[in-house]
Amino acid sequence: MSILVLKNIKKTYLLRNSVFEKRKSIEAVKNISLTLEHGVCLGIVGESGSGKSTLGKIILGLEKPDQGEVCFLGKNLHNLNSKELKELRQNLQVVFQDCYSAVNPRLTIGEIIAEPIRNYKRLSSVEEENQVQQLLKKVGLSPEDVHKYPSQFSGGQLQRINIARAIALKPKLIILDEAVSALDALVQIQILNLLAQLKEEFQLSYLFISHDIQAVNYIADCLVVMHQGEVVESLDDMEQLEQLEHPVSKKLLSSILPPFPKLF
């Protein structure tokens, strides 16, 4: 069974600059159908405004499509009641671009990572702290960091903390929405390697959303290219990346630098 199936997803926004102007409709997502298999990283790449992040929000349930279905683990996410949705959500996690706004600065790192654990499990304080410390080790941080605050960490370290929180419940799918784009080049490599390691260890599926086709090429097993709300090209074999033909794909390819060196 496919882990995620999108069927004819459409999303339109009505916008206007002032009360005197007639509303304009913008089709952010146009009739998109996709399938993601278990254990696969699907890259969604496109320029700013292509609709890729809107699609991610629809999959997460943060936006409701005007048309179409989002089937996760065989269930339509937008037809579930609150209890059913909560049960399913433990298998669907997200890591956003802004690692700073994704954490509460008033909470300790231990409390931040433990948040999803507390929502779904009943653990003693000792069991919870042990689990959080193990998660910190998994993402390359020290177990002693559990009592520190976000202000004591760099952007790359905070993104590791967000990743630790995302894997806390051992989900089936993690959506990575520009998860490395705000980081320095070397830190990007380190985070991409971490994500690749965790994918293999936990048999995770990823939806990797990015404007950076180089980063997508580094981690994805397959990709789709979006432009103006549509999928304009797809690729099942990343070894054939240079065979992409659409003008937008070629523009993205032209920005590729020498390949990232793998660190493991």
Q: Where are the alpha helices (DSSP H) in the chain?
A: 52-60, 82-89, 109-120, 125-138, 155-167, 185-202, 213-219, 247-253
Mean pLDDT (10-residue bins), the chain, 264 residues: 93 75 82 96 94 94 93 92 89 95 96 94 92 97 96 97 97 96 92 96 96 94 96 94 92 72 48
In degrees rounded to 5, what are phi and psi of residue 227?
Answer: -150, 125
CB 197 within 8 A of CB 263: no
Domains of the chain, residue spans: 1-16+26-91+172-264, 101-170
CB 174 within 8 A of CB 39: no
CB 172 within 8 A of CB 156: no
Domain boundaries 1-16+26-91+172-264, CATH class: alpha beta
pTM over 0.75: yes
Indicate the Cα dihedral angle 198, 202, 208, 212, nearest 10°. Answer: 20
Q: Which residue has the tokens 């956003």?
A: 96
pLDDT digits (tens, 9 = 90+) for 166-184: 999 999 999 999 999 989 9
In degrees rounded to 5, what are phi and psi of residue 81?
Answer: -80, 175
